[in-house]
Chain A
Amino acid sequence: MIDLLSNPFMVRALIAAAVTGLAAPTIGTYLVQRRLALLGDGLGHVAVTGVAVGLLTGTSPTWVAVAVAVLGAVAIEVIRERGHTNGDVALALLFYGGLAGGVLITGLAGQSASTLQTYLFGSVTTVSAADVVTTIVLAAVVITLCVGLSPQLFAVAQDPEFARVAGVPIRFYNLLVAVLAAVTVTVAMRTVGLLLVSALMVVPVATSQQLTRSFRTTFGLAMGLGLVASLGGLLLAAYLSLDFDANVAPGPSIVLLALAGFALTWPVGAWLRSREVAHG
């Protein structure tokens, strides 16, 4: 295990997992607050098309995925705001369009399904040094904005009408949340993969709010839980793969660890809630 930690590829993987684990729940908290927990999943599907276009054109799949996911996020916001289509249906359209487009274009690019699979389910152990730098920069942007603009983002998510009458440009902040979610999706792409990215945004928040009474503690604890799940899941996968010769991918082990955390905290949360109601 110690040998493993001194391996350059493992160090890169750990750094990528750590920043992803910290960044995903920050934006995830606002998505859960706005009851848009599945937005990250929709954007993940859209990003599949971005990756495929990157593969087809020979450009960086990560940056094309960022661009396409951001476009998708803006499209979802516009559809939601105009209210032409149910937000739910708008998400569904993007889910299927993104995934089908991605698989089709990957085929056109002459790439095998296994290449696409490294993006769909993550391949944190093949992360290059340049990937790590990209991941750190994008994650830092997401965390800085989510923390720095928390009074605005909180108010807009809590009660958009009140925020609007208070003079807050709610359209700008709604778009910002969608764009940051898109960026986070691509940050987490290499770690947990596009199909599991939403889990890292939402599950730590769901776990955290079992135990908390305020937004600030929910936010902080979710970041901590995201970090623990990411690093723990990665190390667990490495340990099982090496010592037991099992084929365990880090993406699923990270997500399952996060879900195990939720399963363990839920009874505590139920107990706390029943106590609070009793005390009124």
Chain B
Amino acid sequence: MTPVIELRDVRLSLAGRPVLHGVDLVVDPGEFVALLGANGSGKSTLVRAATGLRPISSGSVALFGTPLAQFKEWRRIGFVPQRAGAASGVPASVREVVTSGRLGRRRLLTPLNKADRRAVDDALEVVGLADRAGDSVATLSGGQQQRVLIARALAGEPDVFFLDEPTAGVDLTNQHALADSLATLKERGATIVLVAHELGPMAPLVDRAVVMAHGTVSYDGEPLDETTLHAHHHPQLHRHDHTPHVGSPIDSLQERR
């Protein structure tokens, strides 16, 4: 099985400051991976390296088995960037922003076809914003705008989703709506890489947690509520000094449970 994402010994510097120090990450089809870690741990940078938005200093990145430099099938990639909102300098309706997600699949100078319209309608349905399609995105709440950005990625019918902190600054109601949308994507067999500070309502969806600390992967394995369960039966685990270092977001995750 060809991995969807394959990063090998990826190193990356921003303005001369090393941010990633040799990261290995392989994601298989259908996996829901949560990329966790404190601010500045390099988790967003990792996603930007994987999508080609940031050139890497050394190492290798491959998507669907093709090295990034030769990769052409961008329509298979759904990207939800970390953004304060979906608005720009000119009004744009929710439907227009979501329709721009079809761009990778549309030919130049041709109007929308039936498949395009169906994909846009479906995407709006999945994020629960079909009734707001005609509204200006600027009038939506921050959480709703995040859902618009997810619908935009969804409209392109990609095979893998990269979501960069979609829940940052989003209220709990909208976090649940986001989790519902992601559950639908997961059911459909999409591969999902979710960058998050904390998982909240999305925790039950996660198959695998990757924790970043100081530019390296410090934990990669089962989502951590499992570990909590084991720790309950084997309390001595807590005293074991050689367990992987776990960053603060996970601690807060455990506290909630």
Give residues in A with beta carbon < 8 Å to B: 29, 32-35, 37, 148-149, 151-152, 154-155, 157-159, 161-168, 205, 209, 212-216, 218, 273, 276-277, 280
Contacts and interface: CB of A to CB of B under 8 A. Distances in A.
B189 to A, nearest CB: 21
Contacts, number: 105
B42 interface: no
30 contacts: A29-B90, A32-B89, A33-B88, A33-B89, A33-B90, A35-B89, A151-B103, A152-B103, A159-B83, A159-B100, A161-B79, A163-B100, A165-B51, A165-B162, A166-B75, A166-B103, A166-B104, A167-B72, A167-B75, A167-B104, A213-B93, A213-B136, A214-B93, A214-B95, A214-B136, A215-B90, A215-B96, A216-B93, A277-B139, A280-B141
A34 to B, nearest CB: 7
Interface residues of B, number: 38
B134 interface: yes
Interface in B49-101: 51-53, 72, 74-75, 77, 79, 81, 83, 86, 88-93, 95-97, 99-101
Interface of B: 51-53, 72, 74-75, 77, 79, 81, 83, 86, 88-93, 95-97, 99-101, 103-104, 106, 108-109, 134-136, 139, 141, 149, 152-153, 156, 162
A164 B88 contact: no
A280 B72 CA distance: 41
A216 B108 CA distance: 18
A32 B88 CA distance: 9
A216 B141 CA distance: 22
A223 to B, nearest CB: 13
A151 B103 CA distance: 7
Given A32-B89, A158-B88, A214-B91, A167 B74 contact: yes
A159 B104 CA distance: 14
B77 A165 contact: yes
Contacts of A157: 88
